[in-house]
Amino acid sequence: MSDQKIIAIIGATGAQGGGLARAILASGGGQFAARAITRNVDSDKARQLAADGAEVVAADLDDEASLERAFDGAYCAYCVTNFWEHFSPEKELAQAANLARAAKRADVRHAIWSTLEDTREWVTLDDKRMPTLMDKYKVPHFDAKGEADAFFTEDGVPTTFLLTSFYWDNFIHFGMGPQKGPNGSLAIAFPMNGEKLPGIAAEDIGKCALGIFEKGDELIGETVGIAGEHLTGDEMAAAFTRVLGQEVRYNAVPPEVYRGFGFPGAEDLGNMFQFKRDFNEYYCSVRDVEASRALNPDLEDFETWLGRNKERIPLG
């Protein structure tokens, strides 16, 4: 029987968990084996993971017993929720609570909870700088994750709290790529003013997570922030210009304008960018690039990522 330790991976068919699964599988006969958890073991992505050597197991974040079964016998668990599937902080909280209880009951020795800040610790609900959303949140998809940290702590799960960063992949998949303005020139737009936005290649998140698991107990109980590079909007636009060979500008749209863009989640993201802008020194300081590279020596900077992905970026 193999003496590899099993890492049970929530979201293994997605960006974060997928990066972790691929990193484990690439390490071949290393100390860990990948158990990919998905609701649909017959999807193309699940079948690909199985073909690449992962154990594929069915479970649903809404079903605690299924999670406990999926975690059974695992040494580590990567825990992530997908706010953007349902846009409900309450559902995200319930799913995180299920994860924490299941990890405890299955006696997981090291969990990573993919979290973000509860921004209400910086901007209280009565703070008028940004609107309160859904009655009790400032940045719903951040606040619920940060609030859920306590579930892991209170349930006594040995956990590393992983603070992720803005995926550069949002320029491909999330409608944030360069858009043509009325004069035909391309621009990226987000409300960071001249402050730096920590970003990361989504694939690198899983590689950093593997680096955390490889450290054994060292980072249990710690909060670890990761980023590939911290760049201003102008610096990102300059990288786009160099890599695409056509001018891309940065439009520092104000948060109140961004919140009114009208796409689903625009208010949440407007508040999110404002939080990153207004508390920029803190926000950058907890996402150290060199510490991230120490966990993942392959960590990409923005221009490297862009060079690899330029054909995939839709130019609106």
Ligand X SMILES: NC(=O)c1ccc[n+]([C@@H]2O[C@H](COP(=O)([O-])OP(=O)(O)OC[C@H]3O[C@@H](n4cnc5c(N)ncnc54)[C@H](OP(=O)(O)O)[C@@H]3O)[C@@H](O)[C@H]2O)c1
Q: How many residues of this chain bind ligand X (CB under 6 A)?
A: 27
β pairing state of 186-189 and 179-180: antiparallel
Contact 7, 35 (CB under 8 A): yes
Specify the DSSP class assigned to residue 4. Answer: P
| Neighbour order of strands in the sheet with 110-115 | 55-58, 32-38, 5-9, 76-79, 110-115, 159-163, 223-225
Q: Which residues lie across from 180 on neighbouring strands?
A: 186
26 token code pair: 């690439």
Looking at the Cβ atoms of 22 and 141, the one nearer to ligand X is 141
Cα distance between residue 53 and residue 22, in whole Å: 10
Closest CA to 195 of 289, 290, 278, 306: 278
- Of 75 and 273, nearer to ligand X (C-beta) is 273
Binding mask 22-51 for ligand X (x = CB under 6 A): ----------------xxx--x--------
140 binds ligand X (CB under 6 A): no
14 near ligand X, rule: CB under 6 A: yes
Residues 158-177 that bind ligand X (CB under 6 A): 164, 166-167, 170, 174
Kindly state the smallest distance separating residue 195's Cβ from ligand X, in Å.
Answer: 17
Using CB under 6 A, which residues numbered 45 to 104 contact ligand X? 60-62, 80-85
Residue 271 interacting with ligand X (CB under 6 A): no
Name the one range near ligand X by CB under 6 A: 14-22, 27-35, 132-140, 279-287.
14-22
Residues that bind ligand X (CB under 6 A): 10-17, 38-40, 43, 60-62, 80-85, 141, 164, 166-167, 170, 174
